[in-house]
Structures are given as C-alpha cells and as structure tokens.
Amino acid sequence: MVYVNYSKILSSALYGVDAKLVEVETDIANGLPSFTIVGLPDGAIKESKERIRSAIHNTGYKMPPKRITINLAPAHIRKEGSAYDLPICIGILSALGVIEPESTNGVIILGELSLDGIVKPVKGVLPAAIMTADMRLKSIIVPRGNGAEAGIVEGLPVYEAGHLSEVVSLLRGELPLKPVTTDYKKMYDNLSAFDMDFNEVKGQEHAKRALEIAAAGGHNILMIGPPGSGKTMLAMRLPGILPRMSFKEAIETTKIHSVAGTLSPDNAIVTKRPFRSPHHTVSDVGLVGGTQQPKPGEVSLSHNGVLFLDELPEFKKPALEALRQPLEDGYVTITRAQQTMTFPSRFMLIAAMNPCPCGYYGDPLHQCSCTVSSIMKYRSRVSGPLMDRFDIQIDVPAVRFTDMIRDGYQESSQDILLRVEQARILQFNRFRGLKIFSNTQMTSRHIKKFCKLDEASVSLLSSAIERLALSARAYTKLIKVARTIADLDAAADIRAQHIAEAIQYRSLDRTPLGL
C-alpha cells in the first residue's frame, strides 16, 4: 500500500444553532505507533480512536503501525460529539491511499461509527447541510436516517450511507448512489394537524375567549384556578388555534430540534408549533439552556410555539427569574468562560397555578384550609416583574355539573383558528416592514403609532390605572391586549369596550394579591 501521508476532510461543528466548517487533517508519519487527536476535542471524540480502529479492521482495511495525528481545525472552536468518527476514518483511509484525495474535495462528511463499521445517525445535520449549501460546497454525506433532514435544503446533493464500506465505495466511484430527495412540501402539508380540539372542553367560555385573544396577539397568559378546573386541558389545545407555521419558521424550529437531537427519524421537519411542558423540578439550565458547552433549553425548544408551566409557584425561583430575558428579547444569551452563544426563544408563555396552597380558595364547593399569610407566601414565589410579563391573567373556576353534561354545540379549534388568522393578517399588514409580526411584539413607539385611543377609552384607562395601581409594563400590556381584541372585531381603532374587556384579563390586579 502506498501512503499519501496527509489528507484533509471537511466536516462541521455546532456553534449554537448554526454550523461552522471544520477541517479534519490527518498526518501519518514514521515513529512509534500512536493515535493522537488535537484541536479541542471532547471526551466522545477522544474515545473515537477505538471505534475507528475496530471499524477499519472489521471493514477489511488495516491501520498502519505508524504515528497518526488528527487535527480538527480551527483549533479555537471546541468540538464535541461522535459525528467526527466517519470523517476521521475517511481521512485515515485517504492518507493511506485507499481513497483518492480529490474525491473528497468540497464534500462534508458526518457520522458516528459502530465497531463493525455501521454508520449511526447524529444530531445537528440540518445546520451542517445549510452551511454546506451556503458555502456552495459540492455535497454532504450523512448517516442513513439523517438524509431526509439534510434533504430539506434545496439544491444540495445529499448522500446517505449505512456502512463505512458504502462511503468508501461512493468516494471511489464504485457505488452509484442517488442523492436523497425530501418532499418537504408534502411533509409540511401532512404533519400540521393537531389531535386535540377545543370542542372537547365543556364550559369555560371566559377562558376560551382569553386563549383566543392570546393566540391572536401572541400574548402570554396565566390561568388561576382550583385542581381539576381544566387549566392543563385548555393549555394543551392552544397550539391548535395558533396560525400555521411558515416554512421559514419551520426551518428555524427544526434547526433547534436538530441540534438538541429531538427530531424524529420519521419527521424530518417540525411543522407543528412546539408545545413544551417541563416539570416544575426543572433547573434554570434545563429551562433556558446551558452546561459547559451551551445547549438549547426548553425556552429555545419552544421557539415559534408554546411553553407551558404548570404549577407555576412550584418552579425554582432562579429558573423563573431566568425567563425574564427571553420573554423580553426573544432570545437567550448563555455566557461561559470560553464562549458566548445565543439561542432563539420567541415563544408564547402559558402558565397555570392554584389560587392558594391547598388549591380551593374561592371555590364554592370546597373549603379552603389556607391562612391569608400562607396564600400571600405562596403567591410571592412568583416575583412581581415576572407576573408583569403576563399580558393576560384569568380565573378558571371549577366546571359546573350542568356544563359537564351539556350536549350542545361546542366551538371547534378550526372555528377559533379562522378568527385568529384574520386578526393575524391585520397585524401582518399593519407591521409590514417593521420586523414584528404580532401585537405582543410592539414597542412604545409602535403603541403610540398604532394604538390611538378616543376620549372614552382614555378616561376608562386612566380610571383603571389609578384604581389598580398598574405598573408601566402592565399598562403597555393592557394596551396591546386591547389592540388584539379590536383586531378580532376587525376594528380600525381601539374603543372603550376593548379597553374594558382587556381590564377583565388582569385578574391579579383587580384585588390585592387576588384575595
């Protein structure tokens, strides 16, 4: 066998939700047998040496008794994960002369190897495919099972391989594989329906109306009610009345789930708006992202969708306070000693809580066993600044028996969605060219321009602010909600009745601590 001694294979590293080009350089030189990987590799990459040795041996090739050095460049970017197994292995075989170096020019290679040479799927393939297309490289080779995900990128030749021998044969021109094609438009059309419908919810018309307003304007909403009143049931049906994701939103969301490794092999693109419901024991790192090598948390996995926090006061205070930045900015910034990463996190926050520790304060059918001080302590677990970030606060009382047995017509999610979409169209046209897409994203400048109030509205609003002692943030949120109610009425201007209804959705402001 004639050694070429040196080769360069292209791969990629994840940096946030994007991919950066990585050159896998291989040098085979005389000296004591060794296998060294440099260029800020993590533990999984260092362990790849044994997987690569076995895969090469079990595929019918031999590792030379030489000094093998692998460099992952650029060296200042930390590399992690098992996706470098395949490019390192191909680099060694190319340096051994098994593969012509020219055959790998402009080809991105990703994949994990098992000991027998089988190529296993990896995460972060979609960002790598987008990077390949943006850099106008030739093609990308990915594990079987990742091809549909990479095939979403139009105009990029994507090749799937299930075994190391297939990759070698493909690069040597001995295996005429056809590029993978993904009919993403068909997937986009077929995967967008929700199974849960609002016509399954008995009663709770006030809560349904509040959720419709929240969906129409992208508003955050807090539901307060006793156990069993249907708060979770209502929340789980909210995504079904949100406008369908655009293809651009679907790609943004899919990138995040690709990086997190949560994509299903059968669904290469996320077409349903995400609905994430973390348990109240989640840490602040799990909620907003983090670890030494920052990863997306629940707020980013909820991007373009819904984050539902049930039993809100039970969440750890640091986790709740960490929500404040992504709620305001639409992204979360994670800073570590070596790097700073930003993950998108534009989501609707819907939360639910009991009115008191036992859950039955104000319930006519159950006696509350809590003291006023215990209720105040319970409510104080959610800070005022975070509570201010809920545009809508509503009471969800226990469902009455007459509502539970009623067989009359219940409005479906599709009926509500039609009204929501009409309101969103008005907002899209109103904010055209301003890089905002819903009323909740308005700033003070936009409110001044698009939320003009008549004399009756100003008088009502002034009285409400004085009586409820609303903060400046609560005031702007009330105006935004009124603007959305006006949009649902197809009204050009906000009128007094819209302000009056918006005030009704400030449940915790109407009485001290809601008591």
Reported as a single tens digit per residue, the pLDDT across 203-228 is: 888 999 999 999 999 999 999 999 98
pLDDT at 193: 60
Could you give the angle at the alpha carbon of 105 between the alpha carbons of 100 and 108, nearest 5°? 115
Task: Report DSSP state, residue 199.
Answer: G
β strands within 158-228, DSSP E: 158-161, 221-224
Q: At what angle do helices 413-430 and 205-217 cross, to 10 degrees?
A: 30
Strand-pair partners of 275: 306
The count of other CB atoms within 10 Å of the CB of residue 482 is 28
Higher pLDDT, 287 or 385: 287
pLDDT at 408: 64
- HSE of 105 in the Cβ direction (CA atoms, 13 Å)? 4
pLDDT at 1: 46
Strands 348-353 and 331-335: unpaired
Distance CA 467, CA 77 (A): 56
Distance CA 200, CA 412 (A): 8
pLDDT, average across residues 463-479: 84
Strands 348-353 and 289-290: unpaired
pLDDT tens column, 356-407: 999 888 888 888 889 999 998 998 898 888 888 899 999 998 887 676 667 7
Strands 340-344 and 306-309: unpaired
Q: How many helices (H) and strands (E) does the chain have?
A: 22, 18
The answer to whether the CB of 327 falls within 8 A of the CB of 200 is no
pLDDT at 192: 54
String of DSSP letters for 315-352: S-HHHHHTTHHHHHHSEEEEE-SS-EEEEE---EEEEE
The topology (CATH level 3) of 190-514 is Rossmann fold (3.40.50)
Task: Report DSSP state, residue 67.
Answer: E
Distance CA 493, CA 470 (A): 23
Average pLDDT value over all residues in the chain? 89
Question: What would the two tokens of residue 19 be?
Answer: 């991919």
Handedness of CA 252, 253, 258, 259 (dihedral sign): positive
Distance CA 427, CA 423 (A): 6
Distance CA 147, CA 122 (A): 11
pLDDT, average across residues 109-114: 96
pLDDT at 349: 96
The answer to whether the CB of 167 falls within 8 A of the CB of 190 is no
Distance CA 489, CA 446 (A): 20
Mean pLDDT lowest among 416-430, 432-446, 475-489? 432-446
Handedness of CA 286, 302, 184, 15 (dihedral sign): negative
pLDDT at 189: 64
CATH 3.30.230.10 residue ranges for the chain: 6-182
Distance CA 192, CA 291 (A): 33
HEC string of 110-148?
A: CCEECCCCEEECCCCHHHHHHHHHHCCCCEEEEECCCHH
- The whole model's pTM is what? 0.89
Distance CA 220, CA 306 (A): 9
Distance CA 381, CA 194 (A): 34
Percentage of residues in the chain having pLDDT higher than 70: 94
Choose which CATH entry (3.30.530.20, 3.30.230.10, 3.20.190.10, 3.40.50.300) describes domain 6-182: 3.30.230.10
Distance CA 225, CA 201 (A): 15
- Categorise residue 327: left if φ over 0, alpha if ψ from -120 to 50, beta otherwise: alpha
- Give residue 337's pLDDT band: very low, low, confident or very high (50, 70, 90): low
Burial of 117 (0-12, 13-18, 19+ CB in 10 A): buried
Handedness of CA 90, 95, 96, 98 (dihedral sign): positive
pLDDT tens column, 153-194: 988 999 999 999 999 999 999 988 888 877 766 766 655 567
CATH 3.40.50.300 residue ranges for the chain: 190-514
- Give residue 512's pLDDT band: very low, low, confident or very high (50, 70, 90): very low
Nearest alpha carbon to residue 200 among 408, 420, 410: 410
